[in-house]
Chain A
Amino acid sequence: MTATQLSPGSVRKTAAGATAPGRRRALDRYLNPALGVLGVAVVLAAWQICASTGVVDPKFSSSPSGAFRALVDSFTSGDVWSPLGSTLSIVAWGMLISIVAAIPLGLLIGRNRVLYALTDPLISIMYSVPYVVFLPMLIFWFGIGADARVVIVVWSAMFPLLINVIAGARNLEQSHLQVSRVFCASRLTTLRSVAFPATLPYILAGVRQAVGRALIGAIVAELFMGSAGLGYVVQLKTSNFQTDDAMAAIAVIAIIAVLLNHGVAYLEQRLTFWSRTD
């Protein structure tokens, strides 16, 4: 909130004060992104200067201009599409499976005291342990094909989502449940029409965490398995000393991460507008 400054007897000042919140919002809208871009530009410029003046060896460190050229090349030659598609489809499948499984499962566990007591320690452990330690074991079990990578993505994404859904289902408003009971709603109706929408903000927060972890899971799996995807490209190009190409692949991964984050944020805004307190 902006405090409106009132100086005695000055109508003009007051009028200017009344528009101040609007101006502040416009500043937030344009100035903050502009500052963000500036920050990135400064770092890139410093990197470019270091590479051009030979402070660092661009063969090892790549350079913004080299990486950018490699990025454009990968698009014009079409080399980027196959690994990009591979990574994206793995992440998409993994997220889909996680969401379809975690939401009903989380609602069920959150609404059932015995199930919760049974599963809570297990899920907490699975959530807390760095999931990449399971990677060798998962490769051992599932091989290095696309299926195995989906398994790893699900493994990474499932638990933050599950934990959020359970927390949401356990935090249902008592009065909402009473309304449901008074109007004789069935258990299924209560789950679908009360528990699910009430949990939606938690679900989407969980999805946001899960998407981040899913991407990490996919990339780490590709680095590890060396079979396909953007992670594999990064690994391959780096070991071939093609650091520009490796940096270009990293840039693509960064873009995916940012877009996914924004996509989920957009969904949150569209689907849970009713829970905002502004």
Chain B
Amino acid sequence: MNWILPEGASLGFEGLAAPLQIIRGLGGGTQGQVYEVDLEGERLALKWYLPACIARDGALERRLEASIRATAPNEDFLWPIALLRASPASRPLIRLRQESFGYLMPLRPTAYVGACEHAAGRLAIGLRQVLRACFGLADAFHALHLAGLCYKDVSLGNLFLEPGSGGILICDNDNVAVDGADHGAVLGTPGFMAPEVLLGQARPGADSDLFSLAVLLFRLLTRHDPLKGQMELAIRCLDEPARRRLCGEDPVFIFDPLDDRNRPDPIEHAAALITWPIYPRPLQALFEQTFCRGMKQPSRRALTGQWKQELARTLDRRALCPACGQENFQASGAPALCWSCGAPLPEPITLLLPHGAVLAAPDNELHAHHFDALAGEDLRRPLARVVAHPQDHRRLGLRNLQATTWSAETHDGRVQPVQPGESCSLAALARIQSPAGPIAVQRPTRPSPAA
């Protein structure tokens, strides 16, 4: 790589009291190069633009300044912190003839890897983490859209995942603008762009973000593309005109209930056929809403709030197959078979809450939104977590993650305190009183087949 900024050097910038040390180049893209830098002991990232990019995008500087003033919608964005221009003394050290500028942003921690690692199947990650990442994405775009902003360039390349937790980070926030204000040159990334933007009939905005978001969620959940079915197989050379037809002129969702022209091929598109049935019907319905009616009617697409709600509910329905241990997301009530090994899934213990129900499976969590109808779904601060007994993994308990003591009531009416950090066995309990609200423990009505 030919680095524009000299690695190892200290550079002065206008408006920065202390110099920045350029630690090393991290990568380069179509717009510029990104460096790890040190500002008075703090590690940050600096994106430096190529003159061609600045020339093409006249509103770039104005947009960045507006974003910097507005501050990040939530902490999942690697949001611009400050716009930087080299000081006169440092300008000669920058290896470009034309003037250029850049911006500072938080540095992505090394535990976060590019989402394409998951798409390529090279990441050890579980379904729970993938669903949490999807929730994080919906939540981040919810905050962004509520702030009146739009992102415009949703794609796999701008998302990072932490496989252990399902945490996310969103980079490349330099196209963000007030929805409808339309300063900016970016149209999006083909494959993620809404058909009306790809065809040049509309400018990118919050409605087209909703389409791109759904594509990204689909790709994370299925490792497949929502528009690549039989119609893609019919294309010999997948070039720009072909992509335009597939994604713009005649886009058909591979699981469109009414149009079966683009069904997945059992061999070429096996990923979609294996993963799609894992997800509960209401979650599938949001994809159908966005990719069927919403394909041509942008205002019909599933909203970020709907995604948040369904993704959170899907996580609430998580249960482990007693035969193979694989994660399942059970529809309420109906008896089901494990998607992975086909074994019947026993009816689980269910925690009934004032607003929702959570199946008892290790790592499932209770949150404020389960108790308070006005609290938006938020997975950041769990109030309780289902845990397996350290000696007997089949015995499940509920751990108190709150700062206040619970009182747990057994079937025979005994009441016992559960201190913060302690867990109580779910087998013996009828209900728990927590400061957030009551938790009722519902045991299966039929005996579990595994027992």
- Whether A and B are associated in the same complex: the answer reads no
Interface of B toward A, CB cutoff 8 Å: none
